[in-house]
Structure 1
């Protein structure tokens, strides 16, 4: 059966709570609309900006409206989603597994919270662990599809506003996660300030949306002809514009490395041969210079890593996600009931101010 054709006249809800989720789900939205489906957006909480909705994108503003519209499928790049809304719940992921560990030493990327019917995984190194969890729990399915977010990475021909063809310098992209324990931002300020003054590289900077405002302001004050601080809901053009990245344990480095470009990390929680990891702030500059030589062994290790992370370069991951969701919707396999999640659902009802049953 052509499960893409089954999209016609079906309803798909994009459930988001962060601005970066727009870029994650828009390639999937394009596929749905191209195959005759309907799309609505629901923006949960204060961390997502309604102004980022395009003029032709339609939204629902309450749980009551969601229930009335009654979506067939709900896509969410999040860890949790209310189970009391209608529709097949599909986890898309908001990033790659960067190896971050919680306070208990556990990797939250593989934590099952009982919210989803389908997990669409990005590549073998996440598919295999989720398949083991599928066997253990038996209330969800796992399909390896690739990540819709990256479709424009592999088929975009649009002009990139961050590329400056008049500047011959190499472009360094600096990104950081928001956790004070993991973030390079408070630890490498003096080094980055020096980089911005010496002008060896053209520097672009982008932080996680949850970065403390005082740190954001501190780095924004460094802006000059050598350094540009950027806030955006779509990081893909930034990644494409850079020759090299300086990062910490943020999952954005995994998106960057898929271009087969080197990444220098500072105190990465999960370092490997594919990264140049530095723990001494005074050695960061030398590491960047070394990475820009594109050493043969490093590039080979990067390629091997990327085959496990996300082996798809065809720009068709959105099609595979949509087909997988439609197949599960139409075949309706017998799965165990999801956990009641009484406490989590109570918290979600309180957050969304929804108490009807």
Structure 2
């Protein structure tokens, strides 16, 4: 039976998370709508996804479920509230303030792998107002699906050369982008490897333009919506404490990190920009022990390599709505205050859907 579903995002970088889920919903014969606010305003998802104009339209839609790739979700819209996450846990902050912060807004957390499932299950057992199902992450479905045309074009542009990718977080104290620009520019000029360059959309616009200016015969700049294709096309990643590191590692490909906040054995971490050439040599010829660490970490954070995480999200949502996951307790008192804050942010004071 056809049902209506709502996809919710507050930033452009959420679109690659929601797009595979939209395809899975459409394949199942459901209606798919998207409500994009804040930093995602003005963006779109491909038809037949229908864009929601505002809060009143979202309430009137009465979706069966709302899938959020943000830290929050509008509680006054009907349907199960499902958290998809906007990234991996890269330990930018303490757990209580970061990846494992529970805000009292969601009914279901769809976790990416064992490393996050167990902590959220422990939180669920104590709180009782949400359920947890390990599904894998929809954003990574295209990494393991059929051939990606954009990834193929990026590889073709390399002309047979090895492909390096650079990505950086927007968190200023953790960003490698200001420190590595000169070293990367030298590598691009040398032309030994082809470079895919991307920065978080919240990065300083001037810095983004510095990296865009490196595009040419030996490099191209990749927009945030094209990130997964770039990850698929690249052989080695150079980054910092961005969650792109974990996304890339899921493929068992080497990652070189600059001053990572919590470096781990699967990373090639360094702190001197002058060391970049040597780190690249090591990344493109990784020893067996590094490959083993990459595989082990990938299995902990995202063991799914079948490209069907979106389908598991839908199955988990169906199980929740059918009562198969058990009853939910009432939301915590703080959720009411957060609901009022969300209404104010969205400018909606009308009735909630019933």
Could you tell me the TM-score, scaled by structure 1's length?
A: 0.93
Q: Following the alignment from structure 2 to structure 1, what is the Cα–Cα distance between the partners of residues 297 and 193?
A: 27
2:159 counterpart of 1:174: no
Q: 2:8 aligns with which of 12, 15, 38?
A: 15
Q: Which residue of 1 is the match for residue 121 of structure 2?
A: 131
Q: Which is worse superposed, 89-98 or 230-239?
A: 230-239
Q: Following the alignment from structure 2 to structure 1, what is the Cα–Cα distance between the partners of residues 126 and 148?
A: 44
Q: Following the alignment from structure 2 to structure 1, what is the Cα–Cα distance between the partners of residues 32 and 277?
A: 47
Q: Following the alignment from structure 1 to structure 2, what is the Cα–Cα distance between the partners of residues 222 and 312?
A: 35
Q: Which residue of 2 is the match for residue 37 of structure 1?
A: 30
Give how far 1:343 is off. 3.5
Q: Following the alignment from structure 2 to structure 1, what is the Cα–Cα distance between the partners of residues 59 and 185?
A: 51
Q: Which residue of 1 is the match for residue 106 of structure 2?
A: 116
Q: Which is worse superposed, 242-251 or 57-66?
A: 57-66
Q: 1:210 to 1:145 in 2, by over 3 A?
A: same
Q: After superposition, what is the alpha-carbon deviation per residue over 1:212-234, rounded to whole angstroms, capped at 9, x for unaligned?
A: 10111122223332222222413
Q: After superposition, what is the alpha-carbon deviation per residue over 1:123-175, rounded to whole angstroms, capped at 9, x for unaligned?
A: 00000110110111110000011111111211122322211266232111000
Q: 2:290 aligns with which of 295, 298, 302?
A: 298
C-alpha RMSD over aligned residues: 1.7
Q: Following the alignment from structure 2 to structure 1, what is the Cα–Cα distance between the partners of residues 200 and 282?
A: 26
Q: Which residue of 2 is the match for residue 200 of structure 1?
A: 192
2:78 counterpart of 1:86: yes
Q: Following the alignment from structure 2 to structure 1, what is the Cα–Cα distance between the partners of residues 104 and 207?
A: 36
Give how far 1:294 is off. 2.1
Q: 1:111 to 1:51 in 2, by over 3 A?
A: closer
Q: Which residue of 1 is the match for residue 345 of structure 2?
A: 351
Runs of at least 5 residues in structure 1 that lack an aligned partner in the other structure = 1-7
SS at match of 1:9: coil
Q: Following the alignment from structure 1 to structure 2, what is the Cα–Cα distance between the partners of residues 158 and 112?
A: 35
Q: After superposition, what is the alpha-carbon deviation per residue over 1:183-206, rounded to whole angstroms, capped at 9, x for unaligned?
A: 001111221122122222111101
Q: 1:155 aligns with which of 137, 140, 145?
A: 145
Give how far 1:320 is off. 1.0
Q: After superposition, what is the alpha-carbon deviation per residue over 1:32-79, rounded to whole angstroms, capped at 9, x for unaligned?
A: 22222221111112x215353324221211211112110110000111
Contact kept, 8 Å, 1:99 with 1:107, in 2: the verdict is no
Could you tell me the TM-score, scaled by structure 2's length?
A: 0.93
2:220 counterpart of 1:228: yes
Q: Following the alignment from structure 1 to structure 2, what is the Cα–Cα distance between the partners of residues 181 and 158?
A: 34
Q: 1:287 aligns with which of 273, 276, 279?
A: 279
Q: Which residue of 2 is the match for residue 3 of structure 1?
A: none
Q: Following the alignment from structure 2 to structure 1, what is the Cα–Cα distance between the partners of residues 46 and 21?
A: 15
Q: Which is worse superposed, 75-84 or 242-251?
A: 75-84
Contact kept, 8 Å, 2:148 with 2:229, in 1: the verdict is no
Contact kept, 8 Å, 1:90 with 1:325, in 2: the verdict is yes
Q: Which is worse superposed, 310-319 or 113-122?
A: 310-319
Q: After superposition, what is the alpha-carbon deviation per residue over 1:6-38, rounded to whole angstroms, capped at 9, x for unaligned?
A: xx3222110111222222112222222222222
Runs of at least 5 residues in structure 2 that lack an aligned partner in the other structure = none
Q: 1:165 to 1:69 in 2, by over 3 A?
A: closer
Q: Following the alignment from structure 1 to structure 2, what is the Cα–Cα distance between the partners of residues 168 and 335?
A: 54
Q: Which residue of 2 is the match for residue 317 of structure 1?
A: 309
Contact kept, 8 Å, 1:82 with 1:345, in 2: the verdict is yes
2:313 counterpart of 1:328: no
Q: Which is worse superposed, 155-164 or 283-292?
A: 155-164
SS at match of 1:200: coil
